[in-house]
Structure 1
């Protein structure tokens, strides 16, 4: 339970961030617990996350602002491990470095800044730009369907720990209007609700094959192998399609050379 000081401080910060939201960021406390905040970061332009919808939580201690929150991002991004606590100077990994003057908006701006950098820490992962773009394209689908688990039985998520098996229940509860927009968007773009793929994505895409869990190096290696095979098959296909032309050209040059040799003799 939040102390009176934490309750007063977070109430004031909610009013502030609602009236003056930082760019690409929106956030609010849960109706049932003011210490549990939910945020959405919209991927900025000129980054691999452009257009992505990244949902996460801030779990504040009851003595906030004298201690920092636990920070998690639930939506797979190719930057952070989904639902893992992130080790940042503004998170609960480093309580001594936290400044009580920092607010929720300060924390989320810091998270966005770190997300768009190349620094590594506990909870972060490595991925290619193509993989991160693929995650961004499927982020709305992941949030609202629970990674395609919306038709199965919902599982109970632990405190601050939202996995892809909840069927999108938690996201819908915290972001009902955004969830409706996501379903409308998926219907308009004919998104496959099981895989999150669009019809125009193509079955032979060399991009990462995203499932419920974050794609690992095995998916990347598989994509590279697919690309090599496609290049090899493309070369064989050209020779096959033009074999008559190649054969005719060889005959022509053979006759031409024979005539030149005959006239010389």
Structure 2
């Protein structure tokens, strides 16, 4: 059962996500469980994931924001094993690097940046760029076979893939993503990661990763 602090924080984050979602990212909680969020990531241009639609989960603990969430991706991507927890410095693999100031947008921008890098961690898989492009082309059709995707995102259910609320065609604010040592804003090791970084440097080290 979620704590009062978790309910308050996640309710506020859901409102913020609807009002001002980051580029290529969207997420919302289940109506019957605010601790279980579902997200959609869109593959950045000029990466093997371009045109892809990737569905996954953020599994928040009752103690959030003082403890980190588990992170899973359900859609086959050639980057992460489906339905397997992904190890990053923002996930429950590394509670010692978690910062309560990080929010849903921070986590998902960091995950998308990490997805576009070559760094391996627990939950990663290897695949060729050709295979990843093939999976990207098949991703929406796969999502339509998934009951939870259809329940949580009914507006994205249809024969054609639909744009997210922010596809990067407006102002591109920077979002903070941590490096492997879990640095946070204010630390000289922190690196700002915005959409331009995700698009222009798909193999950069600006990720939220930390191998387990």
Pick the TM interval, shorter chain: 0.7 to 0.9
Q: Which runs of 5 or more structure 1 residues have no equivalent in the other structure? A: 146-167, 187-265
Shift of 1:177: 1.2
Shift of 1:171: 1.4
- TM (norm. structure 2) is 0.75
* Matched residue, 1:98: 98
Q: Which has the higher strand share?
A: 2
- TM (norm. structure 1) is 0.60
Distance (Å, rounded) in 1 between the aligned partners of 2:87 and 2:150? 27
Aligned pairs, number: 161
Q: Which has the higher helix share?
A: 1
Deviations 1:186-236 (A, max 9, x none): 9xxxxxxxxxxxxxxxxxxxxxxxxxxxxxxxxxxxxxxxxxxxxxxxxxx
* Matched residue, 1:65: 65
* Matched residue, 1:178: 156
Which secondary structure state, in structure 2, belongs to the residue aligned with residue 185 of structure 1? Answer: coil
Is 1:120 paired with 2:120? yes
* Matched residue, 1:109: 109
Q: Which has the higher contact order (CA 8 A, sep 6+)?
A: 2
User: Aligned runs of 1:1-265 on 2, under 5 Å?
Assistant: 1-145=1-145, 168-179=146-157, 181=158, 184-185=159-160
Instruction: Select the structure of larger CA radius of gyration.
Output: 1
Which secondary structure state, in structure 2, belongs to the residue aligned with residue 89 of structure 1? Answer: coil
Q: Which runs of 5 or more structure 2 residues have no equivalent in the other structure? A: 162-212
Deviations 1:3-45 (A, max 9, x none): 0000000001111111110000000000010000000001110
